[in-house]
């Protein structure tokens, strides 16, 4: 039987970057959220998107996920517009999720198979096996029947990582996955992200120390791109001052001078 258009995955351009922005600008109701952002991210890289609240971090991830459209310029996923890409997994901020919804962990993880199946097919035995394996990999197999609102913050993030695993995602977009987590939970989530060796990771963060220690590339933004490159280059004092202002305290790390924003509010003004 011929597959419907919704079921056909978008073919990748083998010569294109996993994610590429070309003069990307995005607006909300006349307000510019991002402007003139240009970068290319090769497959398998780990990119931290950092900047102050309202800088456009969430906006960039939503465009890459196909949830927002550009006002001008383009953003390409493996050489194509971000639509119908079953290879892309998007994890929103936890505050954007209705945790009262009557779903259990296994339900959410199995949703990762939806794009692979198409709208009219039900998950089969192989799909359920993939979901179970994903839950085991992140350590949530014993909580498969737990309602999602009963999970801790760290367990909720693990659930979304398991969904990306079940989806067999090649690009994983995570919006502030460490927000509100304690140190042990943060360590666990970062360790799990470290196991996604074949995936391209794009993670919005507010903790620059984590970005410097755990990611090989950084995109520093404040409505526009300030720096894109290695953490040591992106976190040079002049770039940090441009992003956060001159009053931001600085601390020296192994990678050079690093800003330490005094900001408890991680919910981004989009």
pLDDT in tens, 140-164: 999 999 999 999 999 999 999 999 9
Question: Does the pLDDT at position 185 exceed 80?
Answer: yes
Question: Whole-number mean pLDDT of the chain?
Answer: 86
The tokens describing 232, both together, are 């040591």
Percent of the chain with pLDDT over 70: 86
Question: Does the pLDDT at position 8 exceed 70?
Answer: no
Helix 153-167 and helix 183-194, axial crossing angle in degrees, nearest 10: 10
**Count of CB atoms situated within 10 Å of the CB of 123:** 18
Question: Does the pLDDT at position 3 exceed 90?
Answer: no
Question: Does the pLDDT at position 267 exceed 60?
Answer: no
Question: Does the pLDDT at position 33 exceed 90?
Answer: yes
Q: Give the DSSP H or E segment for 109.
A: helix 105-110
Q: Per-residue confidence at 62, pLDDT binned at 50, 70, 90?
A: very high
Enumerate the β-bridge partners of residue 253: 256
Q: Per-residue confidence at 132, pLDDT binned at 50, 70, 90?
A: very high
Q: Per-residue confidence at 1, pLDDT binned at 50, 70, 90?
A: very low
The reported pLDDT for the residue numbered 60 is 96
Per DSSP, the three-state class of 163 is: helix
Residues with Cβ within 8 Å of 222's Cβ and at least 6 positions away in sequence, in order, are 51, 52, 55, 56, 242, 243
The reported pLDDT for the residue numbered 119 is 64
Mean pLDDT of 97-126: 86
* DSSP secondary structure code for residue 52 in this structure: S
The reported pLDDT for the residue numbered 253 is 55
pLDDT in tens, 195-244: 898 899 999 998 898 999 999 999 999 999 999 999 988 988 889 989 98
Mean pLDDT of 104-120: 84
Question: Does the pLDDT at position 250 exceed 70?
Answer: no
What are the start and end residues of each CATH 3.40.50.300 domain in the chain? 15-87+170-270
* DSSP secondary structure code for residue 227 in this structure: E
pTM: 0.87
pLDDT in tens, 73-92: 999 999 998 876 788 999 99
Class of domain 15-87+170-270: alpha beta
The tokens describing 145, both together, are 């029947």
Terminal alpha carbon distance of the chain: 43
Residues with Cβ within 8 Å of 202's Cβ and at least 6 positions away in sequence, in order, are 19, 41, 47, 49, 61, 64, 171, 172, 173, 174
Per DSSP, the three-state class of 162 is: helix
């Amino acid at each position: 039987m011929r597959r419907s258009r919704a079921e056909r995955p978008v073919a990748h351009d083998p010569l294109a970057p996993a994610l590429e922005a070309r003069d990307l600008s995005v607006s909300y109701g006349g307000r510019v959220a991002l402007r003139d952002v240009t970068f290319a991210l090769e497959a398998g890289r780990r990119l931290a998107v950092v900047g102050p609240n309202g800088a456009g971090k969430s906006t960039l991830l939503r465009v890459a996920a196909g949830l927002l459209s550009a006002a001008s310029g383009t953003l390409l996923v493996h050489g194509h517009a971000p639509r119908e890409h079953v290879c892309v997994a998007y994890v929103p901020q936890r505050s954007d999720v209705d945790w009262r919804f009557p779903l259990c962990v296994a339900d959410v993880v199995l949703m990762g198979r939806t794009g692979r199946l198409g709208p009219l097919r039900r998950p089969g035995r192989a799909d359920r096996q993939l979901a179970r394996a994903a839950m085991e990999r992140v350590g949530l197999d014993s909580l498969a029947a737990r309602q999602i609102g009963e999970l801790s913050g760290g367990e909720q993030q693990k659930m979304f990582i398991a969904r990306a695993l079940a989806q067999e995602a090649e690009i994983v977009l995570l919006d502030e996955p460490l927000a509100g987590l304690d140190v042990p939970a943060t360590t666990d989530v970062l360790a799990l992200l470290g196991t996604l060796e074949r995936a391209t990771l794009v993670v919005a963060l507010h903790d620059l120390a984590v970005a410097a220690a755990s990611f090989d590339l950084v995109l520093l933004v404040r409505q526009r791109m300030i720096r894109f490159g290695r953490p040591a280059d992106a976190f040079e004092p002049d770039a940090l001052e441009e992003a956060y202002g001159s009053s931001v305290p600085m601390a020296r790390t192994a990678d050079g001078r690093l800003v330490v924003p005094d900001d408890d509010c991680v919910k981004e003004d989009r």
